[in-house]
Amino acid sequence: MGAKHPSSHPNLIMRRLLISILWGLPPIWLAAQAINVSALLKPTLDSWPTHNGDYSGRRHSPLKQINAENVRDLSLAWVRPVDFGPVSTGPKAAAGRQIKSTPLLVNGVLYFSVPDDVWAVDARNGRELWHFRWPPNEGNHVGNRGVGIYGSWLYFMTPDDYLVCLNAKDGKKRWSAQIADVKANWFSTIAPVIVGNHIIVAPGNDDDIRSFIESRDPETGSLQWRWWVDPDPGQPGSETWPDVETMMKGGGNPWMPGTYDPELNLYYIGTGNGVPMGRPPHPTPAGDSLYTASVVALNPDTGKMAWYFQMTPHDTHDWDAAQTPVLFDGEFNGKQRKLLAQVNRNGYYFLLDRVTGEHLLTTKYMPETNWAKGIDPQGRPIPDYAKDASPAGTLVSPNALGATNWFAPAFNPNLGLVLVNGSRSYSFFTTAGFGRLGYTTQHMTLGIDYKTGKTIWDHELGDKSGSLISGLLSTESNLLFGGDTFGNALAMDCATGRTLWHAKVGSTVSNGPITFELDGQQYLVLAAKDLIFAFTLPHQ
C-alpha cells in the first residue's frame, strides 16, 4: 500500500486557504447543545462523548467508511495549533506542554484540554469557538487526560486539584471545587468520568500519602462519596499492611479514568503503586499492601467496593495498575463471559470475569519481563525479591516506566484482539537511584489474543529514545490508528500490524486518536505535541 504525506494531496492548498479565511471570520455559531446523559450509554456515529468513546474502554468505532482500500487517500482536513500560555511555575512544566487529552465530540464541537486550558473548536474546520484558561499555579503540569460532559456542562481537573465546571456553550466557569491541597504535593491529571449523576475523579501524589477516588455532584460540585485505596484500620485489606502508620500513607493513586458496565452498575478503575517506592520485601507473610496496584470494581452510587484483583502484590518497582480496564463479552473455555482485560505496566496480561473479579488468565506479554518467579494460584505474579533495588543493583525488566503506561489500548471484537502500545525495556534498580537508570530496546504495537494472552503480531515503532507513545483506535473496517516514534500518524491492518498509511505530523502522536462522522464524512482526529490534526477522505 502506498503512503501519502498530508501535503501531497491536490486539495490541501485550497483547504488550507479556506481554513485560514474561515479562522478570520467571526463565529457563525456558538451553540453547543446539551447532551442527554443516556447518550453516554450508546454513543451515536457523530459523537465521541466520553474519554474512551463509550464506557467500555474498547476504543473501537463502528465506522468503516475509511477502510484498507481507501485509507491511502486520507488527507489533511485541518490542523490547529494551541497556545499553552505562560510557562508554568509547577514541576514537569515542559512535559505538560503536549496535548495528551482525548478530545470529546458533541454536536459538531470538539472539546480538548492541556493543563490549565480547555478549548472548544468546530470539528469541521478546526476554528476556535472558545478558550478557557485557569490561573497560573504551582501544580504538577505533567499532563491532562481530558474533559467530561454532563448535559450542557463540561468538567476538567486542574494541576492544582480543582474540579472546574464550565458552560459547554461559551466556556464560562460555573463553579470550581477543591479536591485536594496542592501544598501537600497533590496534583491532578485525570479525565472526569460521568456515570449517571456522578462525576468520578481522583487526584495524584508521589509522596507517602493516603490515596482516594471520589464522586462529586454535577450541579454543585459537592462531595457524594469517597473511597480510600488504603483501607481504614480494622477493615478488610488492612491486614495486608505491616502497620497502621504505613497504611495511612500507603499511596495507590489512581491516575487514569476508569470504565463502566451499566448493566452491572460497576465502575472499574486501576489503582497506583504503593509508596514509598523501593521499600523492602514483604514484612509479613500477608504483605500485599491492598488495594494498591489493583483493579477495583466500585458501585458508582455508593462508592462501595464489589471486588478487587491485585496485579502486583506489594509493588516495589513503581508499576501501578492504572492502565485501562477494557470491557467486552466473549467466549472463554467454552463459556460466554462478561470479561475485563488489562495489559499491565508490570509486563503481564490479565483476563478477569468482570461480574465477580474471578481470575481467568495471566500471561507474560513482554518476554523480557524478569521480576517474577511464576504465577500464584490466584493468578498473580510471584515477586522475586532478588529483583528489588539493592546497594549493588540489579537489572530488571520492564523499567520503572513499565512495559506499557497510560497510553490508551483498544479492543477489536471482530478479531478478538487486545491492542496496546508498549516497550521492551530495562532498569538498573539500586537503592541509590531506584531504577531511574532505565533504557528501552524497542517501542512496539502489539496484537494480543484475548483468549490465550499470546501476542499474535507486533509492529516496531521506531526510535527507542523517549517514553511517550501514542494511544490506539480500532475501527469496524479492521483498521488500527496510532503513531510511531518518528513523528508519523499510522494506519495499520488490525489483523497483521502491517502499515497501510502514514502521515508526517512532526512529533510523536501524544494522545489517543478518535474518529466520528459528520455530514457523511468520517474524520480521524489526533494530536502531536501542540497541534491537533483532522484527516478525512476527499469528498466524493
Phi, psi of 13, deg, nearest 5: -60, -45
pLDDT at residue number 27: 39
Task: Return the closest-CA partner of residue 308 out of 244, 349, 354.
Answer: 354
> CATH number for the 6-536 domain, one of 2.140.10.10, 3.20.20.220, 1.10.12.10, 3.40.50.2300?
2.140.10.10
pLDDT level of residue 390 (50, 70, 90 thresholds): confident
For residues 383-392, give the mean pLDDT.
89
CA dihedral 387, 390, 392, 395 (to 10 degrees): 30
CB atoms within 10 A of CB 223: 12
Confidence at residue 492, expressed as pLDDT on a 0 to 100 scale: 98
Cα 97 to its chain centre, rounded Å, is: 17
Contact between 111 and 104 (Cβ < 8 Å):
yes
How many Cα atoms sit within 13 Å of 307 on the Cβ side? 13
Q: pLDDT, tens digit, for every residue of 231-243? A: 999 999 999 998 9
Question: Does residue 14 register a pLDDT over 70?
Answer: no
Higher pLDDT, 10 or 399: 399
Number of H helices, E strands in the chain: 2, 36
Q: Give the predicted TM-score (pTM) of the model.
A: 0.92
Q: According to the 3-state scheme, what is the secondary structure of 167-212?
A: ECCCCCEEEEEECCCHHHCCECCCCCEEECCEEEECCECCCCCECE
What is the pLDDT averaged over residues 432-436? 66
pLDDT tens string 278-307:
455 545 445 899 999 999 999 999 999 999
Chain centroid to CA 301: how far? 23
Which pLDDT band, with edges at 50, 70 and 90, does 189 fall under? very high
Q: How confident is the model at residue 1 (pLDDT cuts 50, 70, 90)?
A: very low
DSSP 40: G
pLDDT-derived band at 351 (thresholds 50, 70, 90) equals very high
* Whether the predicted pLDDT of 188 surpasses 80: yes
Question: Distance of CA 108 to CAs 29, 35, 42, Å?
Answer: 11, 12, 17
Q: How far is CA 468 from CA 61, 263, 460, in A?
A: 24, 35, 14
Give the separation between CA 236 and CA 254, rounded to whole angstroms: 20
Asked if the model's pLDDT at residue 13 lies above 70, the reply is no
* pLDDT computed for residue 87 by the predictor: 66
Query: pLDDT tens across 488-536, in order?
Result: 999 999 999 999 999 999 999 999 999 999 999 999 999 999 999 999 9
Using DSSP bridges, classify how beta strands 372-375 and 198-201 pair: parallel, antiparallel or unpaired: unpaired
Length of the chain: 540
Q: Could you give the CA distance from residue 394 to residue 417 in angstroms, rounded to a whole number?
A: 34
Dihedral of CA atoms 507, 508, 511, 513 in degrees, nearest 10, equals 90
pLDDT of residue 177: 98
| Domain regions of the chain by residue span | 6-536
